């Protein structure tokens, strides 16, 4: 049984919808749809709780969140199959997300202990503090619903805000269950949205901030709506992340790791690699090793052979990726692996075969736009200045990876990329060599770590 959570109560009434398991195309469980009246009541409850919550000492708020983390850890065996079914993931991938959510929850407790900055000289003493904003609306996406709810909701809570979570209508179940586990903490509520409720959150006069992760088109509409009441916004939008492979790398090792970074969860990750630029001197060897790694991915409903690969989570995204494939076929691009599905045994569910497009032109749609699926172009480079120009010639700049044995070379390239974060010799996981945060973000603001807490 799934429910909206308002005033620390489970609300089951009203119209219900169901979500389809993308692995089997079977319907899952009914879940109620919140109304605008539900939203108004949730906002009123949050406003009433806010003065008391923000006045509590930081240590008390942290202890509440510790209890939330403990409850998630205790009940993860119950939550994991729910998360796996709604997202189409294997049990392995669902466990990875829950473990990541737990790790990030516990990181907030240490980060939040030193959020005052004091400066003192002979004549003046200045203390910088960070007061809470009020009521935060957390609008979450479908690709990693639990982790991204933690990144938005718990960061806002530990800083003294009250939070209303709106999970994606594609993946409502795990988020609603997580909030249900914390009914005794009255400052977190959850509403399974209708389109009207989602739009109303961005204009509601008593919501002080919107944090949104999703498409650039939706982000623009949210920014416009929120701007009418001067709400603060954090918008993490599209990313078309590049992996840059230099000539001095261990070809076999790096090709396998880049392939994992491209096809993990079928590329449905904001900071997954979407374009691979390989130095001309190693391109033939790298391409062979990369293709060999991709060909090891086996599609099966049980996900026993390739547990890190998934179907597309929803029919809309499935069609978007099919459109990319059709466009590349129309442009007569070379498919090294995969491509538009051939006649024969159909794939199960919403799976699309892992696909590699060999050296399409830079102006191709598969290079310029984020596919958010298992279709990857491999491109060639030789001149560093030209490479930087090509990599930066896209509208979005969320992240990138640089692979080079020579750290100085990796750092020099990384500092020229117009993206939010660059990983060196790693993908979406800080390496001992470190990472750089650049000036160009894909959206507005940022989340995670100290920056997420301050925002």
Cα distances (Å, whole numbers) of residue 274 to 59, 280, 427: 41, 19, 12
If pLDDT is split at 50, 70 and 90, which confidence band does 93 have?
Answer: very high
CATH number at residue 257: 3.40.309.10
| Residue 144 included in any domain | yes
Looking at the structure, tell me whether residues 195 and 246 fall in a common domain: no
Tell me the per-residue pLDDT of 230-266, one tens digit each, with 9 for 90 and over.
999 999 988 899 999 999 999 999 999 999 999 999 9
If pLDDT is split at 50, 70 and 90, which confidence band does 337 have?
Answer: very high
Angle of CA points 162, 163, 168, to nearest 5°: 175
Task: Kindly name the residue from 86, 97, 236, 370 that is annotated as catalytic.
Answer: 236
8 A C-beta contact, residue 32 and residue 15: yes
Domain count, the chain: 2
Looking at the structure, tell me whether residues 310 and 424 fall in a common domain: yes
Q: What's the confidence (pLDDT) of residue 108?
A: 73
Helices of type H across 150-282: 155-158, 173-180, 195-203, 216-227, 251-263
Round the average pLDDT of the chain to a whole number and report it: 90
Looking at the structure, tell me whether residues 132 and 201 fall in a common domain: yes
Looking at the structure, tell me whether residues 227 and 305 fall in a common domain: no
| Residue 449 included in any domain | no
Tell me the per-residue pLDDT of 405-431, one tens digit each, with 9 for 90 and over.
999 999 999 999 999 889 999 865 433
Q: 236 catalytic, yes or no? A: yes
Looking at the structure, tell me whether residues 251 and 198 fall in a common domain: no
Tell me the per-residue pLDDT of 143-182, one tens digit each, with 9 for 90 and over.
999 999 988 999 999 999 999 999 999 999 999 999 999 8
Query: Strands (DSSP E) along 246-398, which ranges?
Result: 275-279, 334-337, 355-358, 375-381
Domain housing 246:
242-442
Looking at the structure, tell me whether residues 231 and 261 fall in a common domain: no
User: 192, 208, 237: which is the final residue of a domain?
Assistant: 237
Looking at the structure, tell me whether residues 272 and 228 fall in a common domain: no
CA atoms within 13 A on the CB side of 265: 22
If pLDDT is split at 50, 70 and 90, which confidence band does 186 have?
Answer: confident
Looking at the structure, tell me whether residues 288 and 343 fall in a common domain: yes
Tell me the per-residue pLDDT of 284-319, one tens digit each, with 9 for 90 and over.
999 999 999 999 999 988 888 899 999 999 999 999
Looking at the structure, tell me whether residues 26 and 146 fall in a common domain: yes
Residue closest to 87 by CA, chosen among 218, 327, 346, 266: 266
| Residue 455 included in any domain | no
Looking at the structure, tell me whether residues 303 and 227 fall in a common domain: no
Mean pLDDT calculated for residue range 216-232 = 92
Q: What's the confidence (pLDDT) of residue 431?
A: 38
């Amino acid at each position: 049984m799934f429910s909206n959570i308002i005033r620390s109560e489970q609300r089951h009434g009203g119209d219900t919808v169901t979500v389809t398991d993308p692995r089997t195309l079977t319907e899952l469980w009914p879940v109620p749809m919140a109304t605008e009246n539900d939203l108004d009541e949730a906002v009123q409850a949050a406003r009433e709780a806010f003065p008391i919550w923000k006045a509590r000492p930081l240590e008390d708020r942290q202890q509440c969140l510790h209890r939330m983390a403990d409850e998630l850890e205790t009940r993860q065996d119950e939550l994991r199959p729910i998360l796996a079914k709604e997202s189409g993931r294997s049990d392995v991938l669902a466990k990875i997300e829950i473990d990541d959510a737990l790790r990030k929850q516990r990181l907030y407790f240490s980060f939040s202990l030193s959020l005052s900055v004091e400066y003192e000289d002979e004549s003046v003493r200045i203390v910088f503090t960070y007061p809470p904003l009020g009521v935060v609306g957390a609008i979450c996406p479908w690709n990693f619903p639990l982790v991204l709810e933690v990144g938005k909701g718990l960061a806002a809570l530990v800083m003294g805000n009250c939070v209303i979570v709106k999970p994606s209508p594609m993946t409502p179940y795990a988020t609603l269950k997580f909030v249900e586990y914390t009914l005794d903490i009255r400052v977190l509520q959850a509403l399974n949205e209708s389109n009207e409720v989602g739009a109303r959150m961005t204009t509601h006069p008593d919501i002080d901030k919107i944090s949104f992760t999703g498409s650039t088109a939706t982000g623009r509409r949210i920014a416009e709506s929120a701007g009418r009441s001067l709400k603060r916004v954090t918008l993490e939008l599209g990313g078309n992340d590049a992996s840059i492979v230099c000539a001095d790398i261990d070809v076999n090792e790096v090709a396998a790791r880049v392939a994992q970074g491209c096809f993990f969860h079928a590329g449905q990750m904001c900071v997954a690699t979407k374009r691979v630029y390989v130095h001309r001197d190693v391109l033939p060897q790298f391409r062979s090793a990369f293709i060999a790694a991709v060909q090891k991915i086996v599609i099966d409903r049980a996900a026993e052979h390739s547990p890190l690969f998934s179907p597309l989570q929803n029919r809309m995204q499935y069609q978007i990726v099919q459109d990319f494939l059709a466009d590349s076929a129309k442009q007569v691009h070379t498919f090294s692996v995969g491509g538009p599905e051939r006649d024969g045994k159909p794939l199960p569910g919403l799976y699309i075969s892992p696909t590699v497009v060999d050296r399409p032109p830079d102006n191709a749609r598969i290079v310029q736009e984020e596919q958010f699926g298992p279709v990857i172009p491999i491109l060639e480079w030789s001149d560093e200045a030209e490479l930087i120009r090509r990599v930066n010639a896209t509208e979005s700049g969320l992240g990138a990876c640089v692979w080079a044995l020579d750290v100085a070379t990796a750092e020099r390239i990384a500092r020229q990329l117009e993206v939010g974060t660059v990983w060196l010799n790693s993908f979406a996981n800080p390496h001992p060599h470190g990472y750089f945060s650049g000036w160009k973000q894909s959206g507005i603001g940022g989340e995670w770590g100290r920056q997420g807490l301050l925002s």
